[in-house]
Chains A and B, each alone.
Chain A
Amino acid sequence: MRALAWHGTHDVRVDTVPDPEIINPKDAIIKVTSTAICGSDLHLYDGVIPSMKSGDILGHEFMGEVVETGPKSTLEKGQRVVVPFTIACGCCFFCDKEQYSACDNTNPVEKQDMSETLYGKAMCGIFGYSHMTGGYSGGQAEYVRVPFSDVGPIVVPDGMEDDQALFLSDILPTGWMGAENADIEPGDTVAVWGCGPVGLFAAQSALLMGAERVISIDHHPQRLQLAKQIGADIIDFRRTDVREALMEMTGGIGPDAVIDAVGMEAHGFAVDNMMDVAKQKIGIGADRASALKQAILAVRKGGRVSMPGVYGGMTDKFPLGAFMEKGLTLKTGQTHVQRYLQPLMEKIQAGEIDTTWLISHRLPLEEAPRGYDQFKNNQNEWTKVVLKPGS
C-alpha cells in the first residue's frame, strides 16, 4: 500500500510499504477514506519529538471502512468508522473511570521505558506518534491496523459525510474537553489562547456550554477571522497588549476561565531536547512558552485554567506564586476521546455542531508532503488539511 512515512526533519515521503495485517484478536483493518494532518504532526515534521524512526507511518486523525476483523473485534466488514487517536483497552482501571488516555494496556510494554523514566508512568498507545506512545503505524495511509477495535471506533451513520465526522478522531473532542475542563458557569468570560483547530473548537464548545463571552487570541488574520465567524471576540497579540485588553474587556476582573490551546510541544518530549530547541529557536520558543504564563496572570482570582495544549518536558519560570496566591485550578491531559465520541456524534447529527468550516484544503494522499510543507509554512491560509487516500 501507499503511506506517508517520516524519514527525518522536514522529510516526509509517500512510500510503498507492506499492507497491515490482523495480529491480535481484537484488531481490525480499516481502509482509510479521510485522514487529516494535525498541528501536533508538525512537531514530528520539525523533528523535535524523540523516539521517531525512519519509515514510521504518521497520522492519528483518520476514518474509513472496515475491511477485515479479528475474531474478537466487534466491528463488521463494510462499516464506516471514525477511529480515536488514543488507543484504549476498555478493561483496565483507567478505562473504567473513562480516563481512556491513561489506559494501562495499549502502549506495548517495551515502548513504555522512556515514559517510565520521564513521567513515572506511560500513557496509552497513540497512532502514528513516535515510539514513546507505542510506535503504532498511523492513518495517513491506505490501510491501518486498529488494535482494540472493540473499544475505540465509532460507526458513522448513513448519510453523514466524511468531513462532518472526521474530527471526532481528535481535535473536536480535544477542543470540547478543553472547554469542559474550564468548568464554565453562566455569565462567564472565557479567554482562549491559540486559534488553531483545537483553540477554535474549544471556543466553539465554550459558547455551546453557556459561556457569555469567548475571547480568542492569535495573530494569523485568517484564523482570527474564523474565530469571529463562530462568535468569539478576538485579540491580535501582535497589535494589542493582551493582559491589559483582557482586564479592560472584563470590567477589571479578568476572564473567569482561560484555555491554553497553544502548548509548548514544539519543545519536544525530552528535557534536554526541549532545552535545546528553546535555545535554538529563542523567539518562537519563548513566545509559545509564554501563553500559559500569560493566561495564569490574566485569569481572575479563583479562576480556572484549562490546558489542552500539549507539553512534554519541563518549564522555567512558571508563575507558581500567582497560581497559588490567586487560588487557581488547573485541569489538563491528553483527550479521553472515547468518552466524548457518542455525545459529540449526536450533536453533529442534530446539527448543533458543524466542523466542516475548518477545512481549508483537501489533497490526495500522494500530495501529503506538500500538505505538510504548506500547513507549516503558510499557517494563515492552510488552517486544516484533509488527505484522501485512494483519490
Chain B
Amino acid sequence: MEKPPLRNQKGLLIALGAVVGIAGGLAGASSLAQRARMRHPHDDAPGRTARRSRFGGYAVTGKTVTIARPRHELYAFWRDFQNLPKFMENLESVRPTGPDRAVWTIAAPKGRTVDVETSIAEETENEIIAWRSIDGSDIDTEGRVTFREAPGDRGTHVELVVAWKPPGGEVGRMAAKLFRREPHVQARHDLKRFKMLMETGEIATSAHTSEKEG
C-alpha cells in the first residue's frame, strides 16, 4: 500500500495528525467497513501513537513534555536554533545561514558528522516552529515543535514531532545509525533535557568528577 508522498504546501508534519484518518478512508471502501467505522469513531490521540500507521515512507517519532515555564520563554529559547545542541544529544551544532535557514551538524558513528540544511516551513510566535530540509539535502527530514498552554497553570505542553526519510547509499546507511537509541527514546531524552534546562537552569548529571561519567 505505497501511498504518494504526503508532502504538500502545508508540509508533511502539519498533515501527520490526519494520516491515520486517510488510511481509514482507504480501508472504508466497502460498506461493511464503513459501518464498522461508524461504530468506531477516530480517537483524539496523535496519529503517531496508532498501533499501526504509515506515513508514506517516512519514519516518524514524537513526544510531548510539560514544562513549568511560560510559552513565550520556551518558544524564544527554541527559536534560537543555536541553543538546540545544549539539550539534543546527537546535535553537534546549528549554524544559521540566512534569516530562515540553518545548517544542522549531526553526530554520526565513528566520529563523522552529517550536515542537513533546513528552512523554516511554518512559524507562529509562541505557538509553533516547523522546519524542513531543503531540496537536495542528504537527509529528507521535517520537524515541528508546538507550544500550548497546559491546563491548571502547569506551564506549557511542548510537543516535538520529527519525520525523516533516509536516502540510499553510504550517507543513508550512516543516517540510519544516527539515532544511537530508539528514536522515540532519543526524543524523550532530548525533551527531558530541555525541560531540566528550562525549569532548573541545569541538566542533571551524576558524574562524580568533571572527567568521568557517574
Residues of A whose CB lies within 8 Å of any CB of B are: 17-21, 23-26, 57, 72, 89-93, 96, 104-113, 116, 125, 134-137, 145, 147-148
Cβ contact of B200, chosen from A91, A108, A145, cutoff 8 A: A91
Contact (Cβ within 8 A) A93 B66? yes
Binds A, one of B11-19, B27-35, B188-196: B188-196
Contact (Cβ within 8 A) B214 A137? yes
Which residue of B is nearest A150, CB measured? B200
Contact (Cβ within 8 A) B68 A108? no
Which residue of B is nearest A136, CB measured? B206
Report Cα–Cα, A104/B214, bound state, in Å. 19
CB-contacts of B178-214 with A (<8 A)? 185, 188-189, 192-193, 195-196, 199-210, 212, 214
CB of B59, distance to nearest CB on chain A (Å): 20
Contact (Cβ within 8 A) B68 A91? yes
Known contacts A93-B68, A137-B214; A145/B208 CB under 8 A? yes
The 22 listed contacts between A and B (C-beta, < 8 Å) are A17-B208, A18-B208, A19-B209, A21-B210, A26-B200, A89-B199, A90-B200, A93-B66, A93-B68, A93-B155, A104-B195, A104-B199, A105-B196, A108-B204, A108-B205, A108-B214, A109-B193, A113-B185, A116-B188, A135-B214, A147-B204, A148-B200
Tell me, yes or no, whether B154 is within 8 Å of chain A by CB. yes
CB of A185, distance to nearest CB on chain B (Å): 31
Which residue of A is nearest B152, CB measured? A93
Known contacts A105-B195, A113-B185, A135-B214; A89/B206 CB under 8 A? no
Q: Which 3 A-B pairs have the closest CB atoms?
A: A135-B206, A24-B202, A136-B206
Q: Which residues of the other chain, A, contact B212 by a CB distance below 8 angstroms?
A: 18
B63-85 interface bits toward A, Cβ cutoff 8 Å, 1 = contact, 0 = none: 00010100000000000000000
Q: Which residues of the other chain, A, contact B154 by a CB distance below 8 angstroms?
A: 93
CB of A126, distance to nearest CB on chain B (Å): 10
Known contacts A104-B195, A148-B200; A111/B209 CB under 8 A? no
Contact (Cβ within 8 A) A137 B189? no
Contact (Cβ within 8 A) B204 A91? no
Q: Which residues of the other chain, B, contact A110 by a CB distance below 8 angstroms?
A: 189
Known contacts A96-B68, A113-B185; A24/B205 CB under 8 A? yes
Residues of B whose CB lies within 8 Å of any CB of A are: 66, 68, 154-155, 185, 188-189, 192-193, 195-196, 199-210, 212, 214
Contact (Cβ within 8 A) A23 B210? yes
Q: Which residues of the other chain, A, contact B210 by a CB distance below 8 angstroms?
A: 21, 23
16 further A-B contacts with Cβ under 8 Å, apart from A18-B209, A26-B201, A136-B206, are A17-B208, A23-B205, A24-B204, A26-B202, A92-B199, A93-B68, A93-B154, A104-B195, A108-B204, A109-B192, A109-B204, A111-B206, A125-B204, A134-B206, A135-B206, A148-B200
Report Cα–Cα, A42/B123, bound state, in Å. 55
Report Cα–Cα, A262/B199, bound state, in Å. 36
Report Cα–Cα, A91/B197, bound state, in Å. 11
Q: Which residues of the other chain, B, contact A72 by a CB distance below 8 angstroms?
A: 201-202
Contact (Cβ within 8 A) A105 B214? no
Known contacts A23-B207, A92-B68, A96-B68; A109/B202 CB under 8 A? no
Known contacts A89-B200, A105-B195, A112-B192; A137/B206 CB under 8 A? yes
Which residue of A is nearest B155, CB measured? A93
Residue picked from A107, A110, A147, most chain B C-beta under 10 Å: A110
Q: Which residues of the other chain, A, contact B196 by a CB distance below 8 angstroms?
A: 89, 104-105, 109
Report Cα–Cα, A134/B207, bound state, in Å. 10
Q: Which residues of the other chain, A, contact B188 by a CB distance below 8 angstroms?
A: 116
CB of A67, distance to nearest CB on chain B (Å): 15
Q: Which residues of the other chain, B, contact A91 by a CB distance below 8 angstroms?
A: 68, 199-200
Q: Which residues of the other chain, B, contact A21 by a CB distance below 8 angstroms?
A: 208-210
Report Cα–Cα, A110/B207, bound state, in Å. 12
Contact (Cβ within 8 A) A137 B208? yes
Q: Which residues of the other chain, A, contact B66 by a CB distance below 8 angstroms?
A: 93
Q: Which residues of the other chain, B, contact A134 by a CB distance below 8 angstroms?
A: 204, 206
Residue picked from B155, B195, B202, B208, most chain A C-beta under 10 Å: B208
Contact (Cβ within 8 A) A20 B209? yes
Which residue of B is nearest A56, CB measured? B214
Report Cα–Cα, A92/B205, bound state, in Å. 17
CB of A54, distance to nearest CB on chain B (Å): 14
CB of A144, distance to nearest CB on chain B (Å): 9
Cβ contact of A20, chosen from B192, B195, B199, B208, cutoff 8 A: B208
Which residue of B is nearest A112, CB measured? B192
Report Cα–Cα, A135/B68, bound state, in Å. 26
CB of B101, distance to nearest CB on chain A (Å): 30
Report Cα–Cα, A90/B201, bound state, in Å. 12
Known contacts A18-B208, A147-B204; A109/B189 CB under 8 A? yes
Q: Which residues of the other chain, A, contact B207 by a CB distance below 8 angstroms?
A: 23
Which residue of A is nearest B66, CB measured? A93
Report Cα–Cα, A105/B192, bound state, in Å. 8
Q: Which residues of the other chain, A, contact B185 by a CB distance below 8 angstroms?
A: 113
Which residue of B is nearest A107, CB measured? B204
Report Cα–Cα, A199/B193, bound state, in Å. 38
Q: Which residues of the other chain, A, contact B193 by a CB distance below 8 angstroms?
A: 109
Q: Which residues of the other chain, A, contact B206 by a CB distance below 8 angstroms?
A: 108, 111, 125, 134-137, 147
Report Cα–Cα, A89/B203, bound state, in Å. 11
CB of B187, distance to nearest CB on chain A (Å): 11
Report Cα–Cα, A110/B188, bound state, in Å. 10
Q: Which residues of the other chain, B, contact A108 by a CB distance below 8 angstroms?
A: 204-206, 214
